[in-house]
Amino acid sequence: MRWIALPLLAACAPTPCPEPTAESRSAESSSGGEARHAHHGRHEGHHHGEGMQHDFSDVARFEAMFDAPGRARWQRPVEVVGLLDLTPGETVADLGAGTGYFEPLLAAAVGPRGRVLALDSEPAMVAHLRERAQAEGLTVVEAREVAVDGPGLEPGSVDAILVVDTWHHLPDRVAYATKLRDALRDGGVLLVVDFTLQTEQGPPVSARIAPDALVEELRAAGLQATLVDETLPDQYVVRATR
Ligand X SMILES: C[S@@+](CC[C@H](N)C(=O)[O-])C[C@H]1O[C@@H](n2cnc3c(N)ncnc32)[C@H](O)[C@@H]1O
Q: Is 122 in the site for ligand X (CB under 6 A)?
A: yes
Instruction: Cite the beta strand spans of the chain per DSSP E.
Output: 46-48, 51-53, 91-95, 115-120, 141-145, 158-164, 184-195, 224-227, 235-241
Q: Is 195 in the site for ligand X (CB under 6 A)?
A: no
Q: How many alpha carbons lie under 13 Å from residue 189 in its C-beta half-sphere?
A: 21
Q: Name which of 81 and 88 has its Cβ closer to ligand X.
A: 81
Q: Is 76 in the site for ligand X (CB under 6 A)?
A: no
What is the rounded CA–CA span in Å between residue 122 and residue 98?
A: 8
Q: Which residues, numbered 11-40, are part of the site for ligand X (CB under 6 A)?
A: 18
Query: Given strand 235-241, what is the order of strands in its sheet?
Result: 141-145, 115-120, 91-95, 158-164, 184-195, 235-241, 224-227
Q: Is 64 in the site for ligand X (CB under 6 A)?
A: no
Among 15, 20, 37, 56, binds ligand X (CB under 6 A): 56
What's the length of the chain? 242
Residue, CB closest to ligand X: 98
Q: Is 201 in the site for ligand X (CB under 6 A)?
A: no
Give the interface segment with ligand X, choosing from 25-33, 108-116, 121-129, 227-235 (CB under 6 A). 121-129
3-class SS at 139?
A: coil
Give the interface segment with ligand X, choosing from 19-27, 130-138, 162-170, 207-215 (CB under 6 A). 162-170
Question: Could you please report the per-residue DSSP string of 94-113?
Answer: EET-TTTTTHHHHHHHH-TT
Among 28, 43, 84, 101, binds ligand X (CB under 6 A): 101
Q: Is 66 in the site for ligand X (CB under 6 A)?
A: yes
Number of residues located near ligand X, criterion CB under 6 A: 20
Q: Is 165 in the site for ligand X (CB under 6 A)?
A: yes
β-bridge mates for residue 117, sequence order: 93, 142
What is the rounded CA–CA span in Å between residue 68 and residue 64?
A: 6
Q: Which residues, numbered 169-188, are part of the site for ligand X (CB under 6 A)?
A: 169-170
Q: Is 125 in the site for ligand X (CB under 6 A)?
A: yes
Question: How many other C-beta atoms can be found within 10 angstroms of the C-beta atom of residue 90?
Answer: 22
Among 41, 96, 104, 114, binds ligand X (CB under 6 A): 96
Q: Is 164 in the site for ligand X (CB under 6 A)?
A: yes
**Which amino acid type is present at position 209?**
I
What is the rounded CA–CA span in Å between residue 147 and residue 34?
A: 31
Least distance from C-beta 165 to ligand X, angstroms? Answer: 4
What is the rounded CA–CA span in Å between residue 111 and residue 118?
A: 15
Q: Is 106 in the site for ligand X (CB under 6 A)?
A: no
Chain residues that interact with ligand X, rule: CB under 6 A:
18, 56, 66, 95-98, 101, 119-122, 125, 146, 148, 164-166, 169-170
